[in-house]
Amino acid sequence: MGLVTHLQYPVQKEEDVEEEPEPTNQPPQLPPRNFTPSDVKEGHYGDSSLSDTYLQRLQHLEMSIIPEDHQKAIQEYFRTSICLDAEQVQNGNPNLPCLKKLTMTICKNLNSEISRALPTLEAFQRVLDQQLSPGIGRLRSQGSADSGQSISFRLEQLTKLLYSIEEKAKTAVFESVGYDGGHRRSLIPPVAFEVKSESLGISTKMFLKVDVESGKIYFKKSKDGPEDKFYVHNKILQLVRSQKMHPKLVIVLETEKEKVLRKEFVFDDTKKREGFCQLLQQMKNKHSDKPEPDMITVFVGSWNMGNAGPPQDIKSWFQCKGQGKTRDDTADHIPHDIYVIGTQEGPLGEKEWTDTLKNVLRNITNISFKQVATHTLWNIRIVVLAKPEHENRISHVFSDSVKTGIANTLGNKGAVGVSFMFNGTSFGFVNSHLTSGSEKKHRRNQNYVNILRFLNLGDKKLNPFDITHRFTHLFWLGDLNYRIEFASTEAENIVTKIKQQQYQELLIKDQLNMERDEGKVFLHFDEEDITFAPTYRFERDTREKYAYTKAKATGTKYNLPSWCDRVLRKSYPLVHVVCQSYGCTNDIMTSDHSPVFATFEVGVASQFVSKHDPNSLSEGGIKFMNCVATLFTKSKTKFFIEYHSSCLDKIVKTSEGDNTENSNGSIKVRFGAQVELTPIISDPEYLLDQHVLICVKSIDCDESYGEGCVALRAAEYSYTEFHITLTHHGERTGTLTGGIQLRTSEGKQTEKLYDFIKVEKDDPANSKGKGGDNRFTLHQPIDIANPSYMGVGLKSGYATDKGWSYTMPPKTAPSAGQVGKDLNPGNLSPKKSTHDAPIRSPTGKSSSPIGEDEKPTEMFDNPLYGAMGKSQARSKEQEPQRKEQPTPPDAMFAFPKADGDYERPPVPTPRNRSYTCSEGKPQPSATAALLSVSVKKPVVPSRSEGGAVLATNRPPLPIRSRPGQSEPSKLRDYRDNSELPGKHPKSSKGWPATAQRDAS
């Protein structure tokens, strides 16, 4: 049945989909971290006062130019309708339906005119799209744009005005009802875990109930039992993961009598244990009294959409469900702080895709995430979303793109990137779609280099450095298109191995791993171990069958199943970053690629405000000495060093160095003069989180010959030797060795949230006679090797070259008698075995001393994945003798000691040998080898392990120095305050008397 007459005005669809407005210039104030129901007003949430306020403002406006019916509509909205909108928000509907009705009323005639004009304009556009020739088409298109410029400009202004009105109305109503875009309603429900507790050899079933919102953990004998025994968040001192028994966890608690209690539990599996740890971390963060976070979690996702729209449900992607290293179901309700989504071959428009992502995250977390940035290059797009509470913490947002298509002019291949500062930590994200084709790996390598050179992100003052050095944390994601190098006849065999989950045999032939191994691409990047099936090339609408053949006019083309979609990362030395998950989905099947996800736990620095007088001179100092650069060049120019850092008020340059030509064609440059840098703030809380970027430049043309980075944390306790690899545009260009000495003002760092969880290596046979003692004693901290391991899988076998190493003395650990109420939980740590522990970097990977040839010397076992194989024998070049005595550290360049400050450890006399670089010297004589027995073994410290420990009862010859033995030497955390007994008598300045004598 038809209509009697035509409609005068179009009937609008009733939609509850929230239109997200553009952000305003003035971001809202940060919400309190500890939100309680008392923060929300009762009753009508102040609706009447809100209504009165706006009615009073309305009376002071000149309304003569406004139509009478519009005046009445606005007055009616502020009199009654705004209160109805507030009630809707109170009930969980943030869409402000009355405001939408008002705007529809005011724009009624405009809406009708738009409805009449749109079909005509669309038809006209279709005619123009059918170009007769390239020249004619361009002329007509330009003419159309010129003739409609004023109309399009006015429509754009109108659109922005409507968005601004809606945004400000929402802000006013939300604030009046205590509603922050859904954030405060994001409640994590209580979760119960079934565990086993052993007491006197008897295993007992128990239940641990975690209530994040109330900040309590309950110990219950049955699931429905009484909840009378619990501990509040500030009484939970530390979680200690077992390294030998994956589901085991130790909870360190403080009792009412100010004693420390250690309880051991065994979970059903490792994923349950990790879900429990993440919930407790969330609880500690939620109820923290710190104004700023020191750790956040970041979700990174990549998906080649195959020019097909997404399915209705893509929640599994953001909940990290599918294959590989995944999250437990108990962590589903824990939102990440930042979501970075990269897509390739995406068919949706920018706004449509961004709204889709926001709606999915709102359904999962009940949070309306804020858009930080979006950048699109053809069908390559990156979207960055963040929690509303972080809006004031994110600044200096930049985005850019690079085309790497045909002749580097087409954007069908290339990269888009976004960078920003999160308080005092810089982040960079790159989403790339590289050249396809199994045989085109060299072109992919060139794509990577072009992106490094031309992607303009981050601090513009760091011009000598490419994007691999500009950020504290750089994440690279996308369809990198690297394939596995097998013959096409092996296709069926490859599919069989995938079904049997024999990924290791395929990853050996992975082009990306092989190119990284040769140092051609992604130098010093990390990738979590791949434990999921290849993400390309599937038949659409199924994940059971790979479509590895494609019929073309030239014949059959083979696309063997490959790990095209990847996520890699690169961080500054000695920072906290841990991969919690890395895998792909199983249920999103609209494309021939599966979406890939990765989540990271990342330490962040605050925007530090010094407690000292800003007009006073800085008490801090950074001294570089004994710097020697080895450059892989035959240039005859002279060189100097530039030091860049955000903790310096200017760039510092050295005088030119002395060149010496090596027999292998490289140049050794010695920079004899010591360089002292003055930081803008000397507080250790700030300074120890900083890094110094180093650039070796030519005096003739100011051209960079290599860049690197040194962490000030490495010199927290004493003079420290460093060895870094110099790179330029992603290629290795040399090495730089030297020493760094740091002076800070009084004070010490506070506990970090990421120190709440430690890893304990179980070895009862070497527990120094305390195996049966259940009382808690203080042990040495051990670095988090892989704290969020989600299941045993096969390792890729790729050993990562970090590009840096440090040689530091051990620090003194407090005695066990100091454990008590004032104990800093961040300094608690599990028991460490007398057996040698693997060297771990802060990013959770094994690292080892790297020589000039930059070949990793050893590959340590990862106890969470199984053995990597026997360690390789140390090469001759990796224990060289240094000919000259290095300049000793300045004894007067000492830490000022305040009353009540903890004892500073002594500083050892500088070694006569360098253990962190290799000069390619000949094998030392037998006499020299005997003389070197008493010298310490080389070490490469990680974020928590940084020195070698010499036990008093240890034989004179280290085990690893014995012929035919490759057992790793024992490592200690460089932050421990343990000193060698009988070594280095302490001086009044806090430095060893030997060092002072040498300096004099």
Given pLDDT bands bounded at 50, 70 and 90, which one contains residue 615? low
Closest Cα to residue 802, out of 467, 572, 515, 568? 572
What's the token pair of residue 1?
A: 């049945």
Using the predicted structure, report yes or no on whether residue 353 has a pLDDT greater than 80.
yes
Closest Cα to residue 740, out of 682, 806, 693? 806
User: Which pLDDT tens digit goes with each residue over 479-520?
Assistant: 999 999 999 999 999 999 999 999 999 999 999 999 999 999
SS3 sequence of 74-96? HHHHHHHHHHHHHHHHHCCCCCC
Given pLDDT bands bounded at 50, 70 and 90, which one contains residue 10? low
Given pLDDT bands bounded at 50, 70 and 90, which one contains residue 114? confident
User: Which pLDDT tens digit goes with each residue over 155-205?
Assistant: 776 776 777 777 778 777 776 665 554 444 457 899 999 999 987 778 899
pLDDT at residue 4 in the model:
53
Mean pLDDT of 851-872: 38
pLDDT at residue 128 in the model:
66
Q: How far apart are CA 186 and CA 191, in angstroms?
A: 15
Helix (H) or strand (E) holding 806: strand 804-807
Residue-by-residue DSSP string for 976-990: SB---TT-SPBPTTS
Percentage of the residues of the chain whose pLDDT score is greater than 70: 66
User: Which pLDDT tens digit goes with each residue over 450-481?
Assistant: 999 999 999 999 999 999 999 999 999 999 99
Residue-by-residue DSSP string for 826-868: GG------SSPPPPB-TTSSB-----TT--------BTTTB--
Using the predicted structure, report yes or no on whether residue 41 has a pLDDT greater than 80.
no
Percentage of the residues of the chain whose pLDDT score is greater than 90: 48
Using the predicted structure, report yes or no on whether residue 61 has a pLDDT greater than 90.
no
pLDDT at residue 933 in the model:
36
Helix (H) or strand (E) holding 193: strand 191-199
The residue with greater pLDDT, 34 or 458, is 458
User: Which pLDDT tens digit goes with each residue over 296-350?
Assistant: 999 999 999 999 999 999 999 999 999 999 999 999 989 999 999 999 999 999 9
Mean pLDDT of 970-982: 37
Residues contacting 168, CB < 8 A, separation 6+? 24
User: Which pLDDT tens digit goes with each residue over 626-668?
Assistant: 999 999 999 999 999 999 999 999 999 999 999 999 999 999 9
**Cβ of 717: how many Cβ atoms within 10 Å?**
24
Angle at Cα 793 formed by Cα 791 and Cα 795, nearest 5°? 135
Residues contacting 340, CB < 8 A, separation 6+? 298, 299, 300, 301, 382, 383, 384, 418, 429, 475, 477
**Cis peptide bond upstream of 537, omega within 30:** yes
pLDDT at residue 352 in the model:
95
pLDDT at residue 7 in the model:
59
SS3 272: helix
Mean pLDDT of 714-731: 95
pLDDT at residue 64 in the model:
82
Using the predicted structure, report yes or no on whether residue 218 has a pLDDT greater than 90.
yes
What's the token pair of residue 678?
A: 């003055």
pLDDT at residue 973 in the model:
40
Average pLDDT, the chain: 76
Q: How far apart are CA 337 and CA 293, in angstroms?
A: 11
Say which residue the tokens 């060893």 belong to. 992
What one-letter code names the amino acid at 322?
G
Q: How far apart are CA 595 and CA 597, in angstroms?
A: 7
Q: Are 801 and 516 within 8 A, CB to CB?
A: no
Q: Are 781 and 944 within 8 A, CB to CB?
A: yes
pLDDT at residue 385 in the model:
98
Helix runs in 609-715, H state only: 684-687
